[in-house]
């Protein structure tokens, strides 16, 4: 027969092992959640930067074309192969 103290120690040991298994699983789940969140943040930042660069390029293009004066040879209109 197992003494009550030994039975209690065994029960405690089994409980601790159960908690460790739960902790390992919980840590694994938390690591996955953190990694997924980091990837999501990276995607969102990348998208925001692409949009920013697009808008910067659009604004530069808009301002330059607004103030752009073409060379005289570019002002002539073409009709067929002849310049008018």
3 or 11: whose pLDDT is higher? Answer: 11
Q: How far apart are CA 12 and CA 39, in angstroms?
A: 40
What confidence tens digit (pLDDT) does each residue in 31-66 have? 999 999 999 999 999 999 999 999 998 888 888 877
Question: What pLDDT does residue 5 have?
Answer: 85
Tell me what pLDDT residue 68 has. Answer: 62
Does 17 score more than 70 pLDDT? yes
Sequence-ordered strand ranges (E) for the chain: 78-79, 82-83
pLDDT of residue 76: 61
Q: What is the DSSP letter of 39?
A: H
On whether the CB atoms of residues 52 and 46 are closer than 8 A, the answer is no
What pLDDT digit, counting tens, does each position of 70-84 carry? 666 656 655 555 555
Q: Show me where the domains of the chain are located.
A: 4-67
In the block, residue with structure tokens 């002849």 = 82
**Global confidence as pTM:** 0.51
The two structure tokens encoding residue 81: 């192969």
Q: Which residues does residue 78 pair with via DSSP β-bridges, in sequence order?
A: 83
Per-residue pLDDT at 1: 65
Q: How far is 24 from 22, CA to CA, in rounded Å? A: 5
């Amino acid at each position: 027969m197992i003494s009550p103290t030994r039975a209690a120690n065994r029960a405690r040991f089994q409980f601790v092992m159960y908690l460790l298994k739960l902790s390992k699983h919980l840590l694994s789940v938390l690591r996955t959640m953190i990694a997924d969140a980091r990837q999501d943040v990276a995607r969102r930042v990348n998208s925001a930067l692409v949009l920013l660069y697009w808008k910067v390029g659009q604004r530069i293009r808009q301002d330059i074309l607004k103030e752009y004066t073409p060379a005289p040879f570019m002002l002539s209109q073409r009709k067929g192969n002849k310049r008018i």
